[in-house]
Amino acid sequence: MLWCGTAAAASHHYEALATYNDRVYALVSESVDVMAGDYNPSMIREYDANLNLLRTLMLESAGDTAWNSTSLALHNGKFYIGNVGSGWGGTLPGSVWEVDIAAWTAREVFNTGPGMGVQGLAIANDGTTFLLTADSFFTSITLHVTTAAALSAGNLGVSIPIPGTGWIWGIAWSEADQTLWVMAGTELQARNIAGDHIRTFTPLELGANIGSIAPLEGGGLIYTATDFATTSVGRITRAGSVYTVHSNQVVNLGGDAVALAFRNHHGRDRVLLREYTFGAAINDTVFIYDPNDFSTIYNIPNWTREDRTLSNIRALAILGNNLFLGTYNSYIPGGSQESGLIARIDMRNLARADGGSGGGGGGSSGCNSGFGLFTLLLVAGLSLLKTRRK
């Protein structure tokens, strides 16, 4: 398969993707030494639909710098970006930045101070804005509920302490379910739009400690649960005030498996699950599921470009018929770790296995012209060690 897009330096990481009008935007962090918490300023890159890089905006202004950016939300033509800072045990401050897309300007609107960082940022359609901040050792976690306009002025609104122990923290807003999902260490919390607690889901209910979350546009949440040696996939549905956990829909996955959600070109919810082997110079193994029927697995074991592997997928975005992916890193033959990649797939080429009624004919011109070299294996019920528990 022919991949589009390259990484310019040996430490660039694609952390989040978004589309606006006919453009694709990538949030890119640049690490000097991840273990030491050393980072260069983050940036926003703008691409056209063919992944031609149009412009780059560095997130630094008047002495302020966005370190280790990981969260991206779009509202009213502006991006809001959450930055971790130096992370574990470090002193670089986290922050929130606002990017005006039309003016192509960036400014810092909030600074956490040294030893603190932003672990999550999400915005509802009505502008309600959620910000999760934490110290670098995850001993003090706070949920802030405000509005995008207030955040732009540096006002964090209501502050709510979040209980929990463990290392996995983050948030995601589900517009369909009007639920704020909070990964709280080992547990998962459901909260309403005001930030009020509704319910906590324990590792026993989920199948293990919370690992990742992915709200579906049509409603419901896909999550992974992990003990860091093996991972399972589950789904939570909502009917009125009742949340129901459907755990262990897929089991026996690798310890670093993450779920991402998207809607295909037919408007159908899909789940992309990737398995990443930490520190290994091999590509991710990718599975695409219909979340309504986890017995059908689309197994994509060879998502590589000719000269490097596609490794540690972090983000997805949709524009027209194209599915865009961003990765944290990649590897070249011989095992050398390289920067992440941004890539494009014409979803019409997945239609034959993804339940679409049309398509499957030749790919579009340009970057997708090599898609015929790619093999998509359709497996029902069982694929290697990945199984559906009925």
Q: Is 90 exceeded by the pLDDT of residue 102?
A: yes
- pLDDT at residue number 34: 63
Read off the DSSP letter of residue 92: S
Report how far apart, in Å, the C-alpha atoms of 335 and of each of 133, 237, 277 are.
36, 42, 13
Two tokens, residue 144: 């802030």
pLDDT value of residue 219: 98
Q: Does domain 12-387 have CATH number 2.130.10.10?
A: yes
Tokens found for residue 59: 């997130």
- Contact, 112 vs 93, CB < 8 A? yes
pLDDT level of residue 365 (50, 70, 90 thresholds): very low
Task: Between 317 and 1, name the one with better pLDDT.
Answer: 317
More confident residue, 329 or 35: 329
Per-residue tokens: 187 = 């547990």
Cβ partners under 8 Å of residue 382, min gap 6: none
The answer to whether 84 and 118 have CB atoms below 8 angstroms apart is yes
Query: 79 pairs with which residues across the strands?
Result: 74, 99
Lowest mean pLDDT among 66-75, 216-225, 265-274, 298-307: 298-307
**pLDDT over 50 at 301, yes or no:** yes
Average the pLDDT over each of 72-81, 203-212, 300-309 and give the range with the smallest value.
300-309
Q: How many CB atoms lie within 10 A of CB 281?
A: 17
Q: Could you give the C-alpha distances from 241 to 130, 177, 178, 346, in angstroms and in order?
A: 22, 10, 11, 39
**Residue type for position 367:** C
Report the predicted TM-score, pTM, of the whole model to 2 decimal places.
Answer: 0.88
The amino acid present at 191, given as its one-letter code, is R
| Comparison of pLDDT for 30 and 300, the residue scoring more | 30
**What is the spatial order of strands in the sheet that 197-201 belongs to?**
168-174, 179-185, 187-191, 197-201
| Across 221-225, 239-243, 252-256, least confident range | 252-256
The answer for residues whose C-beta is within 8 angstroms of residue 320's C-beta and 6 or more apart is 49, 265
Q: Count CB atoms within 10 A of the CB of residue 149.
A: 12
pLDDT tens digits, residue range 28-46?
Answer: 999 877 666 678 899 999 9
Tell me what pLDDT residue 90 has: 75
DSSP string, 204-268: HHHSSEEEEEEE-TTS-EEEEEE-SSEEEEEEEEEETTEEEEEEEEEEEEETTEEEEEEE-TTS-
Q: Is 203 exposed, middle or buried (0-12, 13-18, 19+ CB in 10 A)?
A: middle
State both tokens at 2. Answer: 């022919």
324 and 316 Cβ atoms separated by less than 8 Å: yes
